[in-house]
Chain A
Amino acid sequence: MKVALESYGGLAAAAGLRRPPKVLDTTALPAAAAAELARLLAAAAATPPEEPDGRARDAMSYTVTAQDGDRVTVLEQSDAAMTPAFADLLTWLRKHHAQQ
């Protein structure tokens, strides 16, 4: 499974258009880490996103795209309205990419 994280918007939105997506392939992960990521993805996908109230300024948005064969899951949330499940997934991905 390939998992891509895109970040856009925010205080530095004008620079952010150039941020490339951060991509990982679960086949390159240890089995336990791959299983943990799959669990976080499933939990985030199962939790309906919160509806932003439109009052946030400079909030960043994130799109996580998971491609597993023909099955594609796309999750999008923002700094100002984020479910705990999506936040856990985002943090896991950030920590993973920070180590790379």
Chain B
Amino acid sequence: MSVKTPTLVKNELKMLYNQFVRTITTPSMLGFYIITISGALFVSSIASTLFSLAPLFMPMAGLLESTIDQAAIFTAIGLLTLGSVGSGYFGVGPAEVLESPDEYIMMVSPVQPHQLFLGRYIRRIIRKFYYIFLGFIVVLPIIVQSGLVASGIMLAILAIIVFLEVNYFLGGICSIMKNKIDKRFKTRFRFLAFPIIIAAAYLPSLPVTTWHPIFQLGIPANQVSVILMQLTGIHSPGIDPITVFVFLLVSYFIGLLVLTNISDSDYYELFSTKMSKEEAEGSFSRRVRGQVDFSESRFTDPMIWIMLKDFWSKMRTPLQFWKYLYVIVGIALGIYLNLFQPLWLSPLPIPPQYTHSIIPAFMLIVILLTQMSSLTSLLAFVEEKDNIYLLRASPFRSKDIVLAKYLLSILEIGATSVPLYLFLLYFFRVPGSIYLLTLAAPMILVFAATGIMAGAYVPVFTNTPKNPPVPLAFSFPAINLVLGGIILWIASEFANSTMLVAVLPAFTLFTVLLFLSLSVRALKSYK
């Protein structure tokens, strides 16, 4: 009568395998993969040359050891657990691993809720390891060049991943607890559960407990702290990191088993509510779309209108609010730091003999920060989900759609990266950094365009525009890193000639136009 869990797991593996086969048999997808891997390899081999600067970082370890004490490290890493317990309490817990077809197929079928969770979770963890493996290959040149011990880095990465998974379990357990408490008790006292859980999650990371070896080895957050301290040599407690990793694995399996065992059909309901909320939002924005009258001034308005629509529909998501808050506070703080140079927060000390060779490192950081903020442009089309077809069918020219998305992305990227640049300027005192930083402007322009292009191609590859195919998402940073490198190269090559004012803008304009016209082509080729 009962369904066996291996059947479900086998099906998950089948799906993974099919996805893989589909990827490597679709030439365009394969193309994106190859771009990703070769681009990333190229960049990481450039980056690896920076490790001739390694001596620079050596004193830093000593510096860290003298400024931070061991207890502070435990307390800081404990914050991660605290965060995931806190957000998990209000989150959907085990429902996070479900997909929309599950609602209609698996929830209706005679499968136990915990079996469904386990099957889905196993797929998720396999996928994760697959990506980590790809990532590891990509950073291999850096590891080899820097003479770091590959096994040590592997262990550190594994420990962090396992730790994050343990945190996910803890958050899921809290979410289930919240549901049970809400069902059982109707009094206001039930809100007390939240502070109690939070306190219980953080107490083992506070100095009152972390001095004791039992807490160091028994609590996941502390286990990771010990492993990292041991591997970096900062306050190394002198315990074999492998042993601690085994302890961490034990925590992982305890977490997995507990969460699996307490998953019951309540989480179906959570998932289904989450899905219908998503749908409700979609239908709302459709209504907004229906009410706007395009009959007048059709040629100038649509672009601004799409931008306004995007801006407001983004504002509706809670994350966006925090983002803008971060921009405002970040800029204020950045200006304050740069103007007043407070004593309590001093910049990184850079020994004089390195001041010049540090410039490439500085620029690499600029590229990475810009790349990080420009993720929004990749999402510009993805966030439309299925509405993208509606937008495509509405009386807009593809050109206007692309341009509107592009302009809004530039604004967003600019806003989110300014605080980062300000911090960088303050902490990383490099001669001429202000002038170097002007190169961020062409980078933003170019990165936004590649993001838009990658996003626009999503519906060409898949008919579920909600989930961008992985190679696309990965090729985006790879392309950007290469383009960023080219911009740097142009800047350094023409540094002493007035040609720079012609060549750099020309290159920027050319790449931007190229990618935007590719986006328009992508948009036109939707079925």
Say whether A associates with B.
no
Interface residue ranges, B against A (CB under 8 Å) = none
Please report A residues at the B interface, Cβ cutoff 8 Å. none
